[in-house]
Structure 1
Amino acid sequence: MFERRLAGRRLMDALAAVASRYEPAARKEKLRLLDALAGRRVGRPGSLARLHEALCFLQAYPDDPEVLERVDRALAEFPRRVARLRAVARRRLHDSGIANTTLDYPFGFPMARWLATRFPHDCEVAWARFVDTERLDETLSLLATAGEGDAFSEGGMGWRAWLGVAKGGRPMTDLQLLLEVFERTGLPEETRDWLYESLALPVVWRPRGVGASRTLARVPPARVFFHADGLERRVASLVDALARPLPPLRRAPRALAEALIEAAHVAMATRQRELHAFSYPNPDDVLLVDVDRGVRLAFVGILPGFRLPLEGYYAFLALKNGIPVAYGGGWELFGTLDFAVNVFASFRQGESAFLATELLRAYRRIFGMRTIVVDRYQLGHESAEALRSGAFYFYHRLGFRPRDPAVLRVLEAEQSKIAADRSYRSPIPILKRLAGAEVYLALSGGHREPEKRLRATDVSGLIARLIARDFGGDRGVAVRESTARARRELGVTGWTAWPTAERRAFAQLSLVAALIGDLETWPSVERRRLVRVFRAKGRGSERTYANLLDSHRWLRRSLEALVT
């Protein structure tokens, strides 16, 4: 028996080792290993997890139809493999996102609501892992009616009994009831969601079935790209790549947009992650770019009421042959894009540089940025995952460069060591120092000193000081009076006929207008253009807003003058 288990582990190790090789001999070896593993029982959870990751990689990066057919069959069989494990072994796959395992995470309100709606019988509050019961008592006492308040005080029935009573005999989980209570609070959505998230309620979920795990996560592709000629791992000049004709961009039909948002939810939830744009997606603002090598890029805009205050923003989900392989986002303000990409661990042996290049080419099409910035967190500052993946050198190979003198000195020393010994690898303490500052890529017309660029945080600081100085800290008065002033000085007409989302966006951005002392002296055409910018923030497309904002040089120069 031991020899058989050892042989099985060797087969799985061999498959993992050969998965990212694509010469003819490697293809034959993959087929041999896949056939050998097809009927073999795997009882060790670690071995099963390694097999799962190799299969996921090969489904995204198949050699040919024959390899893909075997991989698809093996993944379809995976839920049964997991079900055959002993309970103690299955528990060791907890939080893996593999079909028929379990995971738990304190999801925010939008994701918890999606889980409870989409998988009502497979998720519940993990009460055994919840510790802050006193806070839950206090929160429910605020959300219940005044007459129920004593139920949560000393001697009352307490929150656990109250949950049972509040269901009124309805067949629902504790999670569904709590979500219902929060849904009906009447609080502003942002406040409601923050209050729910502050409880940090762990939700336990058992992902199973098609489209409900990492195992069975494929969105059917129009066609499959095979890798008989190997992977594309060349690192071309990003500046040159972004200067070439850019890929076509199209808006996703509603049904496809919703399917891609669903895929993003599954990809994130099975990895215990969340992203603002995926929590508040706008299905009418999903942009698609189909590029070579079986890659589809879906850029997801945000519902108007949840957008960032000033920047334009699209998150993305990258799919390779229909498999979600990466996610991230791009925040753009006045020609500078803050960029973040996270390739899921299963696929980091693949075509990451090609993927990042195509993502930035698509963002160039969306925003027309002239400078690209990667922040410290993406490089490894306070991110162990980024450090382990060597994120700094990944971006460095793409052409990004630091400008901080201290980081430049560390980089110069490391490059000397690498030149002297090609096997040398920067240790984690050095990678932390390299992640000590942003890195940049300047395109034609880009910022000469991007570290001195106007940032959204600069504007927010100016607004905070304005409210304290001119309105005595009364934010409600500040918004009302700034809105009235902006309407007057910008010549706004037909205000009451505007859609609610546009009025709200205008009111929020009126505080930006309030920073500009000479607004009423601007040429009338520039004031009309500023109205279009503000209204666009509440309309359907973030791209339209960002492009209008970027082209408004009067606003940009006025704000830059305030922070220099």
Structure 2
Amino acid sequence: MNKTDELLSQLFSLRNQYGEKITTRKLNLLTTLSNEKLKTKKAIQLWYENLLFLLAYPDNRSVYQLASLALEQLEGYIQSHENIKTRLFNSGITNTRLCAAFGFEIVKWLRKKYPNEVSLSSFEADEGTIQSILSAVMPKVESEILQDGNSDWKLWLKFKKGKDMLDKLIAIFDESDIRPEVKDELWSAIGINVEINFSSHLSLPPSLITPYYHHSLVRKKSVLKSNDIKATKVVLTEGQAERVIECGRMILVRHLREIDPISFTAVPLITYYRLPRGLSIALMGMIPERRHPIDSYMGYVVFKNGLPVAYAGSWILFDSGRIGLNIFPAYRGGESQYIFQQVLKLHGTVYHLNRFTVDPYQIGKDNSDGIKSGAFWTYYHAGFRPIRQQQKQISETEASKIKSTKGYRTPTAILEKLADSRMEIVLKKTAVTFDATDISLVYARILKEQWNNDRKLAEGVLFTKLVKLLQIKNYQEEKLKFILKNWCVLLLSREEKLRRNKKLNTMLKDLFEIKARGAEEDYISGLQRNPELKRLLEEIVKENI
């Protein structure tokens, strides 16, 4: 290990330690390393991540300012050295480039937001597949030219609006009237790789940043017992809300990730809360066209001293929420447990939740990053426990080993076994005990046992029945129709009970209207004010699972 690598390693080891002597060593290392000309990809990445961590968890103003200056110098150094940029390709570091395939809406937004920084790179699909997909997306009368060798798709694109091929493809998909989720799949099937140049640092505007300086980190692993939280709701300007969305989307793009609530949100759907210790959390809803018909898929981004440090989604149904936590790699080793506590408490307070669950993927099932980061124990220390008995017993054994054996770490093979079960934490015994994953199983069983797996027939018959029963006149509106088709099979499996309950029918009609065009928060609270619907669904779930 050379001198520079040794200094970087020292700073990494000290980054999450505090005290007067530690702070002095950090300042000395920052000063020394700022004058080093780093050459290797590994060294630059470690330096970059060290600086991000120190900005999120600074000891004092001096550390914060020196780390800020060093980051600015590093970004300038990368910008002025093309060979360094090349080595850092796909690293996600500012002033480097990345190439990957992203969803249609994200590419459309990227191209509009950064017209000079985003360009078409390549296609993953072959020529024939691309031509077939474009024929399906375009109006029939227009796509005829692509049939039987009359023209190829590249030649035809020359006549479409847009200054280059990427703009033309975006325009074709944007003008199509096919369902958004189908459009997404067709776009993904083409495999449009775009190259992105990250030309600016990702941070909230100064008006939303008040740096917090640390004397220590919160390490206490306390179990969530209530939803009490010291959170202040901040009314954002349109510009501030746009920057929150930009930070959320771009930090995911830099890490080659996407999630629907962040991709499909909008300025009016952002709520922003300031919390202790330099934290803030932006909650994000989805536009009506993208919402789930049964539960409410919400997203969030956690900021620390203005930097996006974590994100995830939550699927809310009645007073229960499936939730997760993803800490970006640069910020691991900080206050992950405390951050998750704040996320849970804020969700519990804002959405009035009394139960949280975690899906196997979040714990590490088919997710190597979840295994590597030991995600299971983050949830366990927050009070979550495996739902399956086998995993519950394994977790108790492992917890005892960790407590009694110094330095013990759960083996990867055992973490993979633990990831085979969902986890839950129940704050009130009256909380609903099912979620949309259970509803999905119920739906499939009803189709199989009552309709011989003929979904088209079931929805055709029951959709019409539900429309008449609820006396819905605007049932042909696309968003409302989608919602009704997803609910009709479930609700009319209890047709007689539904017909006898006029009050429930009225509430259902109102709920569906809210889901189609209102606020998701109103839909969530509407479900919670409807105990009769809760009891009805509990009966259906109990009978079919």
Q: Settle same-fold status: TM greater than 0.5.
A: yes
Provide the rounded CA distance (Å) in 1 between the counterparts of 2:237 and 2:439: 32
Does the Cα contact within 8 Å between 1:333 and 1:456 map onto a contact in 2?
no
Tell me whether 1:477 sits opposite 2:468 in the alignment: no
Aligned pair partner of 2:470 in 458, 477, 487:
487
Q: CA deviation at 1:459?
A: 4.8
2:492 aligned partner: 514
Q: CA deviation at 1:502?
A: 5.7
Provide the rounded CA distance (Å) in 2 between the counterparts of 1:177 and 1:479: 41
1:228/1:283 CA distance change after superposition, 3 Å? closer
Tell me whether 1:19 sits opposite 2:5 in the alignment: no
Alignment of 1:328-339 (within 5 A): 328-339=312-323
1:194 aligned partner: 185
Provide the rounded CA distance (Å) in 1 between the counterparts of 2:214 and 2:435: 47
Percent identity for Structure 1 against Structure 2: 23
Amino acid across the alignment from 1:137: Q
2:63 aligned partner: 67
Q: CA deviation at 1:227?
A: 2.7
1:166 aligned partner: 159
Does the Cα contact within 8 Å between 2:30 and 2:67 map onto a contact in 1?
yes
Aligned pair partner of 1:227 in 201, 210, 213:
213
1:445 aligned partner: 429
Alpha-carbon deviations, 1:215-269, whole Å to 9, x = none?
Answer: 4434435342333412122222211xx2536645566454433221121111111
Tell me whether 1:81 sits opposite 2:77 in the alignment: yes
Does the Cα contact within 8 Å between 1:480 and 1:507 map onto a contact in 2?
yes
SS of structure 2 residue aligned to 1:235: coil
Provide the rounded CA distance (Å) in 2 between the counterparts of 1:453 and 1:268: 25
Aligned pair partner of 1:430 in 414, 417, 421:
414
Q: CA deviation at 1:555?
A: 1.4
1:354/1:180 CA distance change after superposition, 3 Å? same
Q: CA deviation at 1:365?
A: 1.4
Amino acid across the alignment from 2:165: D
SS of structure 1 residue aligned to 2:526: helix
- Which piece of structure 1 moves more, 371-380 or 461-470? 461-470
1:179/1:65 CA distance change after superposition, 3 Å? same
Provide the rounded CA distance (Å) in 1 between the counterparts of 2:514 and 2:169: 36
Tell me whether 1:562 sits opposite 2:540 in the alignment: yes
Aligned pair partner of 1:184 in 163, 172, 175:
175
Provide the rounded CA distance (Å) in 2 between the counterparts of 1:479 and 1:124: 47
Tell me whether 1:114 sits opposite 2:109 in the alignment: yes
SS of structure 2 residue aligned to 1:62: coil
2:51 aligned partner: 55
Q: CA deviation at 1:143?
A: 4.2
Amino acid across the alignment from 1:174: M
Provide the rounded CA distance (Å) in 1 between the counterparts of 2:469 and 2:21: 70
- Which piece of structure 1 moves more, 342-351 or 64-73? 64-73
Does the Cα contact within 8 Å between 2:317 and 2:436 map onto a contact in 1?
no
Tell me whether 1:421 sits opposite 2:405 in the alignment: yes
SS of structure 2 residue aligned to 1:326: strand
2:511 aligned partner: 533
Alpha-carbon deviations, 1:64-120, whole Å to 9, x = none?
Answer: 221111111122222322134453x43331221112211122101000101111111
Provide the rounded CA distance (Å) in 2 between the counterparts of 1:555 and 1:544: 16
2:203 aligned partner: 217
Provide the rounded CA distance (Å) in 2 between the counterparts of 1:473 and 1:498: 17
Amino acid across the alignment from 1:410: I
Provide the rounded CA distance (Å) in 2 between the counterparts of 1:471 and 1:167: 41
Provide the rounded CA distance (Å) in 2 between the counterparts of 1:467 and 1:120: 53
Amino acid across the alignment from 2:315: W
Tell me whether 1:278 sits opposite 2:269 in the alignment: no
Amino acid across the alignment from 1:487: L
1:175 aligned partner: 166
Q: CA deviation at 1:471?
A: 7.9
Alignment of 1:17-416 (within 5 A): 17-85=13-81, 87=83, 89-127=84-122, 130-143=124-137, 149=144, 158-163=152-157, 165-166=158-159, 172-209=163-200, 215-220=201-206, 222-239=208-225, 242-244=226-228, 247-249=231-233, 252-416=236-400
Provide the rounded CA distance (Å) in 2 between the counterparts of 1:121 and 1:335: 45
2:527 aligned partner: 549
SS of structure 2 residue aligned to 1:349: coil
1:537/1:464 CA distance change after superposition, 3 Å? farther
Does the Cα contact within 8 Å between 1:482 and 1:507 map onto a contact in 2?
no
SS of structure 2 residue aligned to 1:547: helix
2:4 aligned partner: 8
1:374/1:314 CA distance change after superposition, 3 Å? same
1:212 aligned partner: none
Amino acid across the alignment from 1:49: Q
Provide the rounded CA distance (Å) in 1 between the counterparts of 2:176 and 2:348: 42
Does the Cα contact within 8 Å between 2:205 and 2:240 map onto a contact in 1?
no
Total equivalences in the alignment: 541
Question: Which runs of no fewer than 5 residues in structure 1 stay unpaired?
Answer: 210-214
Amino acid across the alignment from 1:53: E
Question: Which runs of no fewer than 5 residues in structure 2 stay unpaired?
Answer: none
Q: CA deviation at 1:504?
A: 6.0
Provide the rounded CA distance (Å) in 2 between the counterparts of 1:151 and 1:441: 56
Provide the rounded CA distance (Å) in 2 between the counterparts of 1:258 and 1:463: 43
Amino acid across the alignment from 1:277: P
1:344/1:48 CA distance change after superposition, 3 Å? same
Q: CA deviation at 1:384?
A: 0.1
Provide the rounded CA distance (Å) in 2 between the counterparts of 1:250 and 1:560: 37
Does the Cα contact within 8 Å between 2:323 and 2:356 map onto a contact in 1?
yes
Does the Cα contact within 8 Å between 1:280 and 1:302 map onto a contact in 2?
yes
SS of structure 1 residue aligned to 2:58: coil
TM-score by length of 2: 0.90
